[in-house]
Amino acid sequence: MPRYRLIVEYDGRPYCGFQAQAGLPTVQESIERAVKAFSGETLRLHAAGRTDTGVHATGQAAHIDLSRDWEPRVIRNALNAYLRPQPISILSVELAEEGWHARFSAIERRYLYRILNRPSPPALEQGRVWHVKKPLDAEAMQAAARHLLGLHDFTTFRDVKCQAKSPVKTLDTAVVRRDGELILLTFTARSFLHRQVRSMTGTLAEVGVGRWAVDDVKTALEAKDRTACGAVAPADGLYLTGVGY
C-alpha cells in the first residue's frame, strides 16, 4: 500500500482546528472527504501537528495510505479540485519512503507568529495577525526570548488541557525581529506543548510594551507555574510554517 506525503497550506479561521471532531468543520475532515471523493477510499489523514482553532499553516506535513498507485500530481490536482472553495491548498504530493510517518518521523517543527504593531487595525489581514496598538520593543523581546532557549520545564507556558506526558521540552530557536509594522517571532523545536508558542508570544509582548522587564521572563519560566504566564496571544497570528525530517 503506497504512502503519500503531502504539504498543506490553510487558513485556519473557518475551522475548529486541524483534528477531526464529530459535527465540526476541521482541516483533517475536509481533506479526508476530498480523498474519498476522488479515490472512493475512506481513510485517516495523519499530520505532523494538530493546530488549534484559527491557527494557520503554510507548511503542514501529512500523509495518506492509498490502496492503489497514483501519480502524485494526480492526487495533488484532484484534492485541490475537491477542496474548492475552502481555504485549503495541497502544495505538493510525493511518494514517501518506507517507514516514513508525518508525525513520528518529524525532528523539527517551525512556527511563525505575526504581530501587526500600529495604531490602526488591519483591513486586509483581519484574522491573520495579532493587532497590538502600543509600540513594541522588538530588541527587548529578543533579549527576553533568549531566556527560553534550551532544555526547560515549560509548565508556565503549557495550557492546562495539554495532554503531553512531560512539560520538559528543548526550544532550539526563538527569534524576534521587526519588519516595518510587523513584529515577527519564529520558534523551532522538535515538538511543542499545547499553546506553548502562543503563551510564549503573549509573555514576550508584555516585555515589548514595557509591562515586564527582560528578566521577568526568566523568573516566569523558573516558576513552573501556569499562573506566572503572561496573557496568551490569540490564534490569529500563528502559522505552522514547516516540519523538518
Catalytic residues: 52
Q: Classify 199 as helix, strand or coil.
A: helix
Angle between helices 138-145 and 214-223 in degrees, nearest 10: 30
Neighbour tally for 127: CB within 10 Å: 15
Is it true that the peptide bond before 167 is cis, omega within 30 degrees of 0?
no
Going by the DSSP 8-state scheme, the letter that residue 171 receives in this structure is E
Q: How far apart are the first and last CA of the chain?
A: 22
Asked whether 35 and 93 are in contact (CB, 8 A), the reply is no
The three cell numbers locating residue 193: 506543548
1 residue type, one letter: M
